[in-house]
């Protein structure tokens, strides 16, 4: 429609120039025409004199011949002007026909545009109306905040993506050109926004069945923290002290969601309802000692320290089995494993600790282990 309008303006400008040129030719033709009228009048008068015989008749023939020559010269001069005038009139008629054709095409394009806009408005109304119904159904029937947030996010992305596609296809007249343009744009965005796209994809991995929730404790690389926000591109953790009593350090750490695709920085998350971890320690046993007796004494000392939390650890173990549907979950009891090394015999000690009391339990376990080793050294 805009192209047709521009063509119409161009034709109108050319027509104005042609009309101006036609006026110029009229001005040029006016002087010879007046001269021709004057000469014609003089020729008629001379002709009348020649018809009356007088004594000086021979003197009137020469001016008559001069008038004839002048009239012939003016007629020869006016003939090309007459031809140019006819050509200009024909050219203006052609311009008028062309302008009328463009006007009809413009009206047709305007009608087509109106129809497309009406269809676009109708389809967008349906899309956004359906999206609003979807949103209300999610708010009404989804009670869990996390699942509600996920479903509302999917609803928003679906509605706006569909709206953009409808708007684009409504005004597309050449599908092949649009496909080429869309391919180039997609390739450029994929290269320029690679990290952002990975973070967006990573977000959907993070909100999956075993994904993160607000309040979960996670470990990313060497950073341990509690999830305080989870966005489409990045998440924020409240850093927790990894040494000593468990507590916030007062710092907030931000990670891109693309962390899920990086093997170097693993993402570790506590299973919901499970609040214990396994700690390990390697002990060098005194040479020549009774290693079996040391193992028994170490197990007894560990069981004594962990006896208060045994029931809670057993309950959380059952919860872990239900959540993961795994049959390889180890019972939450202390373990001592002896092994030979080039330096002698070592004992690998493993024991479960409650996250809230891990510093306290580690300290008590260390004290008991030192007591056992001191007994056998003496």
**Alpha-helical runs (H) found in the chain:** 2-51, 58-141, 145-170, 175-192, 194-206, 291-306, 310-324, 358-377
pLDDT score at 83: 66
Q: Which residues contact 370 (CB under 8 A, 6 or more apart)?
A: none
Sheet holding 217-220, edge to edge: 248-256, 234-240, 223-230, 217-220, 267-269
pLDDT of residue 164 exceeding 60, the answer is yes
* Three-state secondary structure call for residue 142: coil
The pLDDT, as a whole number, for residue 323 is: 64
Q: Are 335 and 349 in contact (CB under 8 A)?
A: yes
Confidence at residue 104, expressed as pLDDT on a 0 to 100 scale: 87
Which percentage of the chain shows pLDDT scores above 70?
75
pLDDT, tens digit (0-9, with 9 covering 90-100), for 15-46: 888 888 877 777 776 666 667 667 667 666 66
250 SS3 class = strand
| Strands, sheet with 335-341, edge to edge from the N-terminal-most edge strand | 276-284, 344-354, 335-341
Q: Is the pTM of this model over 0.75?
A: no
Which of 47-56, 115-124, 303-312 is predicted with the least confidence, judged by mean pLDDT? Answer: 47-56
Q: How far is CA 359 from the centre of its chain?
A: 47
Cβ 240 vs Cβ 286: under 8 Å: no
Give the DSSP H/E element, type plus range, for residue 286: none
The answer for residues whose C-beta is within 8 angstroms of residue 309's C-beta and 6 or more apart is 276, 354, 357, 361
Q: Can you tell me the distance from the alpha carbon of 360 to that of 213, in angstroms, rounded to the nearest whole number?
A: 28
Q: What angle do CA 272, 278, 283 make, to 5 degrees?
A: 175
**Taking Cα atoms as reference points, which of 336, 250, 341, 338 lies closest to residue 301?**
336
Q: Are 212 and 257 in contact (CB under 8 A)?
A: no
**Burial of residue 178, with CB atoms counted within 10 A of its CB: 0-12 exposed, 13-18 middle, 19 or more buried:** middle
The CATH class for the domain spanning 276-377 reads alpha beta
CB atoms within 10 A of CB 8: 18
CA-nearest of 215, 227, 217, 285 to 253 is: 227
DSSP state of 329: P
Per-residue model confidence as pLDDT tens digits over 320-369: 667 666 666 667 778 888 888 888 888 888 888 877 777 788 888 888 88
Q: Rounded distance, CA 345 to CA 236, Å?
A: 45
- The conformation of residue 356, written as its DSSP 8-state character, comes to G
Residue 178 binned pLDDT confidence (cut-offs 50, 70, 90): low
Greater model confidence, 244 or 198: 198
Please, is 6 exposed, middle or buried when counting C-beta atoms within 10 Å of its C-beta (0-12, 13-18, 19+)? Answer: exposed
Tens digit of each residue's pLDDT (9 = 90 or more) over 71-130: 455 545 555 556 666 777 778 788 888 888 888 888 888 888 888 889 889 999 999 999
Q: What is the pLDDT of residue 133?
A: 92
Vertex 372, ends 371 and 374: CA angle to 5°? 65
C-alpha distance across the termini of the chain, in Å: 101
Per residue in 188-232, pLDDT (tens digit) is 777 777 788 888 888 888 887 767 888 888 888 878 888 888 888
Residue 273 has a pLDDT of 66
Rounded distance between C-alpha atoms, residue 154 and residue 306, angstroms: 46
Asked whether the predicted pLDDT for residue 168 surpasses 70, the reply is yes
Strands 223-230 and 267-269: unpaired
pLDDT at residue 310 in the model: 72
Check residue 57 and give its pLDDT. 47
**233, 257 Cβ separation under 8 angstroms:** yes
Per-residue pLDDT at 184 exceeds 80:
no
| Residue whose token pair is 């470990």 | 219
**pLDDT of 303 higher than 80:** yes
pLDDT-based confidence at 49, cuts 50/70/90? low
Provide the pLDDT confidence category of residue 132 given band limits of 50, 70 and 90: very high
DSSP 216-240: -EEEETTEEEEEEEE-SSEEEEEEE
> In the predicted model, what is the mean pLDDT of the chain?
77
Name the residue with tokens 């009048």.
Answer: 41
**pLDDT higher than 70, residue 240:** yes
Q: What are phi and psi of 229, to 5 degrees?
A: -160, 145
């Amino acid at each position: 429609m805009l192209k047709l309008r521009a063509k119409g303006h161009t034709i109108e400008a050319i027509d104005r120039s042609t009309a101006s040129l036609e006026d110029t030719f009229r001005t040029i033709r006016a002087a010879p025409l007046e001269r021709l009228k004057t000469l014609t009048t003089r020729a008629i008068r001379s002709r009348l004199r020649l018809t009356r015989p007088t004594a000086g008749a021979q003197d009137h023939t020469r001016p008559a011949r001069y008038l004839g020559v002048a009239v012939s010269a003016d007629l020869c001069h006016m003939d090309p002007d007459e031809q140019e005038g006819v050509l200009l009139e024909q050219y203006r008629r052609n311009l008028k026909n062309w302008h009328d054709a463009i006007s009809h095409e413009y009206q047709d394009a305007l009608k087509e545009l109106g129809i497309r806009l009406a269809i676009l408005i109708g389809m967008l109304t349906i899309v956004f109306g359906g999206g609003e119904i979807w949103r209300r159904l999610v708010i009404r029937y989804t009670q869990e905040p996390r699942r509600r947030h996920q479903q509302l996010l999917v609803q928003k992305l679906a509605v706006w993506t569909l709206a953009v596609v409808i708007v684009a296809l409504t005004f597309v007249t050449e599908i092949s050109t649009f496909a080429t343009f869309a391919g180039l744009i997609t390739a450029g965005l994929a290269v320029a926004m690679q990290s952002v796209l990975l973070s967006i994809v990573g977000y959907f991995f993070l909100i999956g069945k075993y994904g993160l929730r607000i309040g979960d404790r996670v470990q990313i690389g060497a950073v341990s923290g509690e999830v305080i926000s989870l966005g489409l591109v990045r998440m924020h953790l409240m850093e927790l002290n990894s040494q000593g009593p468990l507590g916030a350090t007062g710092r907030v750490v931000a990670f891109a969601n693309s962390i899920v695709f990086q093997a170097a920085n693993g993402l570790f998350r506590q299973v919901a309802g499970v609040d214990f971890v396994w700690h390990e320690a390697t002990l060098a046993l005194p040479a020549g000692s009774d290693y079996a007796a040391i193992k028994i004494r170490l197990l007894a000392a560990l069981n004594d320290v962990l006896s208060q939390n045994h029931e809670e650890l057993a309950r959380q173990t059952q919860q872990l089995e239900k959540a993961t549907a795994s049959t390889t979950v180890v019972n939450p009891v202390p373990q001592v494993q002896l092994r030979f090394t080039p330096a002698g015999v070592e004992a690998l000690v493993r024991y479960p600790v409650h996250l809230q009391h891990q510093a306290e339990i580690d300290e008590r376990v260390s004290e008991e282990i030192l007591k056992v080793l001191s007994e056998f050294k003496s």
